[in-house]
Structure 1
Amino acid sequence: MISAILFYNEKGEVILLRNFRGDIRKSTSEAFRQKILAKKDTKFPIVQLGRVTFFYIRVEDVYIVACTGGNCNAAVVFESLYKLVEVFKSYFGGLFNEDTIKKHFPLMYELIDEAFDFGYPQNIDPEVLKTYIIQGKPITAQKAQQLSVHATGQSNRPPDLVYKNNEMYIDIIEQVDLLVSSRHTILNAEVNGQINLRVHLSGQPECIFGFNDKLFMDKHNDLSQRAVRRGRGFQLELDDIQFHKCVKLGRFNADRTIAFVPPDGDFTLMRYRISERLVKPPFNVNPVIIEHTNTRFVVQVTISSTFNPQFVATQVVVKIPVPHNTARTTCDVSIGAAKFEPTQHAIMWRITNFPGCSSTQITASVQLLASVVQQAPWPKPPIAMQFMVPMATSSGLEVLFMNITENKLNYQAERFIRYLTRGGNYLIRYPDTVGRNTENPIKATKN
């Protein structure tokens, strides 16, 4: 990440330097001064000199420069620099210039060391830094409690919350990304999910949340057997999990239950990812191209839904690319409506409702402009698909229980659970081979 942060004045003098990795030499900072600051060539905020890249901003009469010898995210670097300036201003009464830097050298180094770890941004929040960098003042009991809260990852919750109706809304939202090759093999399949909560609870309740995680089911045989009796014995393996800071990680590591005291309002409790080996695509798409003449070909796309027939996909949109020199198309569809949209260079097939375990097909005849047939070959962009499947998850994740207690007593609250699967980058490539046929398969036409 960032190798060093330098502070220059208007004369090009280095007034403060923090070298995180030790790979930035004095000659490197001198090169930036001579080639950029001395020539006043500050039009571009990113400059590469030799093997070192410089990212810099200007605040008052100070240039703050982050330099790195590797390839790093420019947006993260600039965001970190601006956040660092906010931290300095919060400590220096809203001022930040050369004089304030010279007056507060020790504090500047301490803040930079807390904000960055070996060049990686860690904690650049002024309010959090003020809880333990207190400029020589003793830590009060209140400050110590705040520090403990931030260190342990617990969330602050107002103590006197009162709601007429205690309610918790749980939304499990999954996005399916898929890439299928021209030979109908899956190149990439991934599910990125998140569990969003809307909490309207009085007091200081503790919530314990459990789902059909494989390790959790192995540790709780009673719940596993109960799920099997209900026909829900599927056990899920998650590759990556990220929790909200309110979750007690020690409890999760011990018995795989998610225990937390929720903040008030809306927040994301958990994010997770599921790799290719466990992903079952909600839709199978099989495209075929049949060429009739040099100026006309037919595209047939068959779509089959693989999810349970009790679910219905909504807002299904299939984008079928066609060449840029397409003059007109005629489409025959069994359900929905298809239309050629010249601005998209594609046939847009929209289906309001697509039941589970069903299949449908579109047959489209594409007429090209003869005058531009000899242009470069058509690159065949992939077919893209968007959809939403309410009350279903592609991964099979299921909430087994959500217990709410306060002072180890039962807590009266309504719980509402909603599932949603939606399409992300759902792409299917055209086949490499093109069939040939002299017959016209289009019997009915719809523009």
Structure 2
Amino acid sequence: MGSIEGIIILSASHQPILHSNFLHPLPNYPLLHADQLSSRLESSASTKDEAPISWTEGVPRAGDVVSEDDEASERESRGDDDASLADGVAYEASEGDGDSASCHVEHNGLRLVATFSKHVDPMLPLSFLSSLVANLQSYLGSPLTEDAVRDNFDTVYQVMEEMLDESGQPLTTEFNALRDIVREPSWVSKVASKMGSAGMPGMGSTLAPPPLVSPIPWRRPTSASRYTTNELYIDIEETLCGTFARSPVSSTQPIEARPLAPLKLRGIIKGKAKLNGTPDLLLRLNNPSMLREARLHPCIRIKRWKKEGVLSFVPPDGEFDLVETNIEASVGALDKKLPLRLHCERRQEEKQQTTFKITLMATVAEAVDNIEVIFGVTDASASIETTTSGVSSEDKAGAGTFHYDPKRGVARWSVARFSRGQRPLSLTGTVTSDTNPCLSTAVTSRFAVPLSSIAGLKVTGLDITADSAYRPYKGVRNTVKGDIDWRW
């Protein structure tokens, strides 16, 4: 079975920030992968165009690299008295060049890369990188930023080393197990790490107490997790995903765009537990059969889920994702349930100028929150001027805010809240550059409708079946979200 050779973290400018210890003996092996991935990202019109899995050309396999001792022994057996290698490693050319690959995920401008040179199921490194991002956010805050990684280099490096063992296999991926091995950063630890333990008397013994091992990996030791109040929260999030075709334009008014393929409804059941002891929970859903291809947290008893359709588990401490799934809802065409619709137009007025107009239209009675409309601009020298219409002059906040990041080539229009009773809200802009400005082929919209559900998935029961010396506060809520691309 293959293994993960190591992890590299790239900045928003696609430059290496740090990397873990690598199994490969070639010293510059991580940089070979980083340089080629950086070149591909720079040449892509959009970072989304780069596949998450790619081959790396001209990178030797570990078996093609021999150490100085092995080379010296081989020369001695041949009677060759040439001087030893200066670099300590040598590369033997073979036809196997290029038999190396990498997986990468993007988060808030950062790009995390995992490399491998043997036959590996790509889901292994991709799942590992997702766990790494989640754990680093738990340590350094969400969303993970480049400054946070640079300021907490020691913590990031320790987390990577504890999550991946010496053979390249995932080891400790649960945050509640990691936090007892790698201390969370604080101002005291930062000062101590810069001054050294000798600079602060008695600090060496307080910064790294012996870890406590819990028999349940996703829960902290009982002596380490004591809460003043016992609370349990469950969130059911339904996310509409899909792509709409370009909006037809009639002589009188725009015609609603149609999806290129049926929309998908993805669901995630999240939890947040602050419960003392070792509680055993039982969660019942009104219609568990609508959950398809469910990805379950390791805490769930799979046999009981398959047999009875209930979620029986000992919950992790803190926040966790209990179930990720596709939802098969019998509610007709999902595009008719879309809470927010966009009408997008763009036109090239001159060689160096492009105009665009994006219009928001709410289709549900509930207010739509946290709206983000995102599109890309390939020319870094471009400038964008925008105006909004559809709101009164007194309600400037209702028009939202527009921000263009030329370094990343991303334009973002953010609207805090929009409801059906409002007039359609429009953003009109002009993109000007020294060359022909090119916009991305689609506009991405993201939004949330709190206390709402499309599929009608609900929690019908949430009980503690063991360690019931207390009655915790329990809260459940539903949210509809959207991640839709609109062609223009």
Superimposed CA distance per residue, residues 72-100 of structure 1 (whole angstroms, 9 cap, x where no aligned partner)? 58967999xxxxxxxxxxxxxxxxxxxxx
In the alignment, structure 1 residue 333 sits paired with structure 2 residue 389: yes
**How many residues in Structure 1 have an aligned counterpart in Structure 2?**
315
Please name the residue that 2:260 is paired with: 186
In the alignment, structure 1 residue 198 sits paired with structure 2 residue 272: yes
Question: 3-state SS of the aligned residue for 1:50?
Answer: coil
- Cα 1:301/1:258, change in 2 over 3 Å: same
Counterpart contact for 2:219–2:317, Cα < 8 Å: no
Superimposed CA distance per residue, residues 189-227 of structure 1 (whole angstroms, 9 cap, x where no aligned partner)? 445443232223345443211223353xxxxxxxxxxxx
Please name the residue that 2:285 is paired with: 211
In the alignment, structure 1 residue 389 sits paired with structure 2 residue 463: no
Which consecutive unaligned segments of at least 5 residues does structure 1 have? Answer: 11-27, 56-64, 80-114, 129-145, 216-236, 431-447
Please name the residue that 1:289 is paired with: 346
C-alpha separation in 1, matches of 2:411 and 2:342: 15
Q: What is the deviation of 1:415?
A: 0.8
Higher gyration radius (CA): 1
C-alpha separation in 1, matches of 2:4 and 2:374: 47
Greater share of strand: 1
- Cα 1:4/1:179, change in 2 over 3 Å: closer
Please name the residue that 2:300 is paired with: 247
Which consecutive unaligned segments of at least 5 residues does structure 2 have? Answer: 6-22, 27-60, 72-84, 102-114, 130-164, 178-212, 248-256, 392-397
- Of 60, 65, 78 in structure 2, the residue corresponding to residue 32 of structure 1 is 65
- Cα 1:78/1:402, change in 2 over 3 Å: closer
C-alpha separation in 2, matches of 1:4 and 1:350: 39
Counterpart contact for 1:394–1:421, Cα < 8 Å: yes
Superimposed CA distance per residue, residues 323-355 of structure 1 (whole angstroms, 9 cap, x where no aligned partner)? 857666452411433666554467653322112
Counterpart contact for 1:329–1:366, Cα < 8 Å: yes
- Cα 1:168/1:48, change in 2 over 3 Å: farther
Counterpart contact for 1:66–1:77, Cα < 8 Å: no
Please name the residue that 2:485 is paired with: 427
- Cα 1:410/1:241, change in 2 over 3 Å: farther
Amino acid in structure 2 at the alignment position of 1:256? G
- The 5 A counterparts of 1:119-158 are 121=169, 158=222
C-alpha separation in 2, matches of 1:402 and 1:244: 17
Counterpart contact for 1:248–1:258, Cα < 8 Å: yes
C-alpha separation in 2, matches of 1:122 and 1:271: 21
- Cα 1:283/1:359, change in 2 over 3 Å: farther
Amino acid in structure 2 at the alignment position of 1:419? N
Q: What is the deviation of 1:67?
A: 4.7
Q: CA RMSD in A?
A: 5.3
* Higher relative contact order, chain-length normalized (CA < 8 Å, sep 6+): 1
Please name the residue that 1:172 is paired with: 236
In the alignment, structure 1 residue 353 sits paired with structure 2 residue 421: no
Counterpart contact for 2:236–2:270, Cα < 8 Å: yes
Query: Percent identity among equivalent residues?
Result: 18
Please name the residue that 1:260 is paired with: 313
- Cα 1:341/1:3, change in 2 over 3 Å: closer
In the alignment, structure 1 residue 301 sits paired with structure 2 residue 358: yes
Counterpart contact for 1:52–1:70, Cα < 8 Å: no
Q: What is the deviation of 1:383?
A: 1.6
C-alpha separation in 1, matches of 2:431 and 2:400: 16
Provide the TM-score with structure 1 as the length reference: 0.52
Q: What is the deviation of 1:169?
A: 1.7
- Cα 1:410/1:312, change in 2 over 3 Å: farther
Please name the residue that 1:135 is paired with: none
C-alpha separation in 2, matches of 1:284 and 1:392: 17
Provide the TM-score with structure 2 as the length reference: 0.48
Counterpart contact for 1:199–1:265, Cα < 8 Å: yes
Counterpart contact for 1:189–1:275, Cα < 8 Å: no
C-alpha separation in 2, matches of 1:259 and 1:33: 52
Counterpart contact for 1:176–1:394, Cα < 8 Å: no
C-alpha separation in 2, matches of 1:329 and 1:77: 41
Question: 3-state SS of the aligned residue for 2:66?
Answer: helix
Counterpart contact for 2:340–2:368, Cα < 8 Å: no
C-alpha separation in 2, matches of 1:254 and 1:121: 32
